Chains A and B, each alone.
Chain A
Amino acid sequence: MAEITYLEALREGIVEEMARDENVFCMGEDIGAYGGAFKVTDGLLDRFGESRVIDTPISEIAIVGAAAGAGHMGMRPVVEMQFIDFIANAYDMLTNYVATARYRAFLPCPMVVRGPSGGYVRGGPFHSQNPEAGFIHTPGLKVVYPATAEDAKGLMKAAIRDDDCVLFFEHKYLYRRIKAEMPAGDHVVPIGKARVAREGKDVSIITYAATVWKALEAAESLEKEDGLSVEVIDLRTLAPLDDDAIFATVRKTNRVLVLHEDTRTGGIAGEITARINESCFEWLDAPVLRVTAHDIPLPYAPQLEDFVLPQTSDVVRAVRRLAAY
C-alpha cells in the first residue's frame, strides 16, 4: 500500500465512515464545492452529494448547534471549523449546550468538531492557535490531537463512531509534511490511549501533536551527543487523559518533561504535572519540567514566532537539566 499524508489520512477516515454509515455527514464553511480551506474534504461533495456535504454560512454557532440537534436525532455530523481559532465563536454552544446535553437531558451528541490547528506556519494570531486547554477543562467533551498519519485516520474513525462530542484538532504543520502507510483493514485507534513514540530509560518527554516530532528530534541528538536514552509519549487523546501511560513512563524513567505548543499558563502540562505529583511523587528523581510556548498571542514574523514557540533546542536543554539531577 502506498504512503499517504496526514491530511489524506484524515480524509480517508471521513470517507470510510461516510461510506459505512449513512448517518455520517459533513458541514462547514467552504467544505463542499471548494473542498475546504486545506482540502481535507476535497472530493466529498462529488461522492456523497449536497445533502451529506453541506456548505454553511459563516456561522460557527449554527454549525455546532445544528450538529448537536442532528446528533440528538441519531445523525453523526462531522463539522469543520475553517481554522480551529474560530471554535471560540462556538464556545458557548460547545461548553454550555453540547458538553452538558447527555448529563442534564440524556441527549446524545455524537459529533466531531474538527479543524486545522497549531503554529510553526507563519499564520499569525488567528490562524495558529492551540485552544485545546479551554475544552479539556469542560466535562462532557473529548479532545484528540494526533501526531501521525496513522493516528489521524484511526482517531478520526474512532471519533466519528464515539457516542459523545469529540473535538478533533488537526495539526496544519503536519498536514502535508508527514506520510505513512495505513494499516490494513478497519483501522480504528481507541480514544483515551497514549502511544509510546520512542522507548527510553533515562528521561521521559510527554507531548502530543507537532511537538512529538520536536521531541523525537531532540531524543535523537541527545542519544548521539549525551548518550541519554529518552522516552517519548505521544498522548494522542487529551480528554480523557491516559493516566496509566503517564504514570508508567514516570515509574520507568523517574524524570519527566511535559512539552506542548500551547501557551504555558493553564496549559495541559500543568494538569499532567499535578497528576504526577499526586500519584507518583515518590517515583520522581527530579521536578517535572515544562517546555511550552510563551504566554504570548502568536506573532507572524518568523523570528518572533520561532522565539515564542518551543523548539527542539529548548527540549534538548530541558532534558539535560533533568538528567543532571
Chain B
Amino acid sequence: MDLGSRFPVPGSRPSDALTRVQKLDLYYWMRLTRSLEERLVALYRQTKVVGGLFRSLGQEADAVGSAYALERRDILSPLIRNLGSMLVKGATPLEILRQYMAKGDSPTRGRELNIHFGDTDRGFIGQISPLGDMVPVMAGVTLTFRMRGQDRVGLVYVGDGATSTGAFHEGINFAAVQRLPLVVVVENNGYAYSTPIEKQTAARQFVDKAIGYGIPGLQADGNDVLAVYDVTKMAVDHARAGGGVTLVELMTYRRKGHAEHDNQSYVPAGEIDRWAAENDPLDRYLVVMREELGATDAEIAAMDARVTAEIDAATDEAEKSPPPLPLDALEGVYANPPAERPLWFRDGADRAVDVNERPEGWGTWQAPRPGSA
C-alpha cells in the first residue's frame, strides 16, 4: 500500500472526521502539557524537583496529535518529550508532579525520575534512558497483539538521535519483517542533546530510512497538530488493517535545552526566537480554532482556566505527598524473593543517613548554621 499517494488529498484528511469538541480537546491537552511543564519549572527552581527537568516546549503538537490518533486499547511508548502523549493516554498531572518530586506515592514509588513511568492498562509503557530500546520492546508488545488476534496497535516514539542506535535498527527491522501493527514516530526536533541532525545522519531526511526497511514512510509538520493527527492516524489505520509498520517523521523544533540545566550555547543565534515567534504549535492552533472552529475568546479563556485550576489542585495535593520509606528501596526487584534483606551494617536501621554522617565533608552540602531552622 502506498500511503504517500493518499496524503495530502484535499477533503480526505482523517482529522475531518474529528468533532469540534475533539478538536478543542487537542488544544486542552497541548495547553495542559505546556502549563504543567511551566509549573514544574517553578518547582524545580524551588528545588522541589530533586532531579533534572525535561521540557517539550514547542513540541506539544507532535506529542498530543500523534497520541490522539490511537484508540483506548492501543499502547504507546513515550520519549522524554512526550508528556503530552502520556496525558492524552491518561497520565495525570498529579502523577507527573509526584514523580518529579520523588514522592513515596509517585507512580514508581520514588524509584524512577521524571516521566519515566507507565501503565499498561491505560496504554503507555515507560521508557528507559538508553535511546532506541523501546522499539524492540514495542515490537514484542505488538507481536503479542498479533499472536492473540487482538485488534490493537502500538506506537513508539524515537528522536532524531535514537535513529542512530542499534536497538532502533534491529527493532524496526524485526517489526517490519514480521509486519507487526506498530507505528514508529521519529520526532525530528533538530538536536540530540547538543548534536544537530547533520552530525546524526547522512540521510537527506529521516523518513528516507523507511525505504531500507521496506515499509511506508510519512512526514508531517510536527507543529501543526491536525497534520500530526492526520499522518499518525493513517499509519495507525494501516497497522490495524494488517499492513505492518509505518515510519512517521514529524518535523518540529526543541526550543529548550536537553534538560533545564542546558544553556543551548550550541544553537545558532536567533534560531530559537524565530521558532517561538513564527512556529509555536499553540499559537498556530489558536488561529485555526478562531478561524475554522469559531472558538471565542471566552471559550479559550475557560479552557485555560480549567488547566490552571487542575494544575493548582494537583500541585497542592503533590506537595502533601510523603517521601518514600527508605526500606521500600529493597522491595520488588524480583517477584520471588519479594524483597532483599538489608546488609548487616544497615541491620535495624530505617534510614541510611544518621548522626555519623558528616555531609559537610562532601563539599556541596551546606550545613545549617547553629540557631537556623
Interface residues of A (CB under 8 A from B): 25, 51-52, 54, 56-57, 59-75, 77, 89, 92-93, 96-97, 100, 102-108, 139-140, 142, 162-164, 240
Contacts and interface: CB of A to CB of B under 8 A. Distances in A.
Contacts of B66: none
A92 B167 CA distance: 9
Nearest to A103: B333
Interface string B102-124: 00000010011000111010000
B126 to A, nearest CB: 5
Contacts of A92: 130, 133, 167
25 contacts: A51-B147, A57-B173, A62-B139, A65-B137, A65-B167, A65-B170, A66-B136, A66-B137, A67-B140, A69-B137, A70-B144, A72-B120, A73-B141, A77-B140, A92-B167, A93-B167, A96-B128, A96-B129, A108-B335, A139-B340, A140-B334, A162-B335, A162-B336, A164-B334, A240-B337
Interface of B: 108, 111-112, 116-118, 120, 125-126, 128-130, 133, 135-147, 166-167, 170-171, 173-174, 177-178, 332-337, 340
A69 B336 contact: no
Contacts of B136: 59, 61-66, 68-69, 93
B133 A96 contact: yes
Contacts of A106: 108, 332
B171 A70 contact: no
A24 B226 CA distance: 42
Contact of B112 (A69, A77, A104): A104
Given A62-B174, A64-B136, A97-B130, A105 B117 contact: yes
B329 to A, nearest CB: 10
Contact of A61 (B145, B146, B170, B178): B170
Given A57-B177, A93-B167, A102 B143 contact: no
B334 A102 contact: yes
Given A62-B167, A105-B117, 14 more contacts: A51-B147, A56-B174, A61-B133, A65-B136, A65-B137, A66-B171, A69-B136, A73-B145, A77-B140, A102-B334, A104-B128, A140-B334, A162-B335, A163-B336
A60 B126 CA distance: 22
A65 B140 CA distance: 7
B137 A97 contact: yes
A135 to B, nearest CB: 14
Question: Which of B170, B174, B332 has the most chain A CB atoms closer than 10 A to its own CB?
Answer: B170
Contacts of B147: 25, 51-52, 70, 75
Contact of B111 (A68, A77, A97, A104): A104
A93 B340 CA distance: 23
A163 B335 contact: yes
A172 to B, nearest CB: 25
B333 A59 contact: no
A69 B138 contact: yes
Contact of B141 (A62, A72, A100, A139): A72
B333 A139 contact: yes
Contacts of A89: 166
A92 B133 CA distance: 9
Given A66-B139, A66-B143, A93-B133, A61 B333 contact: no
Contacts of B167: 61-62, 65, 92-93
A89 B141 CA distance: 21
Contacts of B178: 54
Question: Which of B112, B144, B336 has the most chain A CB atoms closer than 10 A to its own CB?
Answer: B144
Contacts of A75: 140, 144, 147
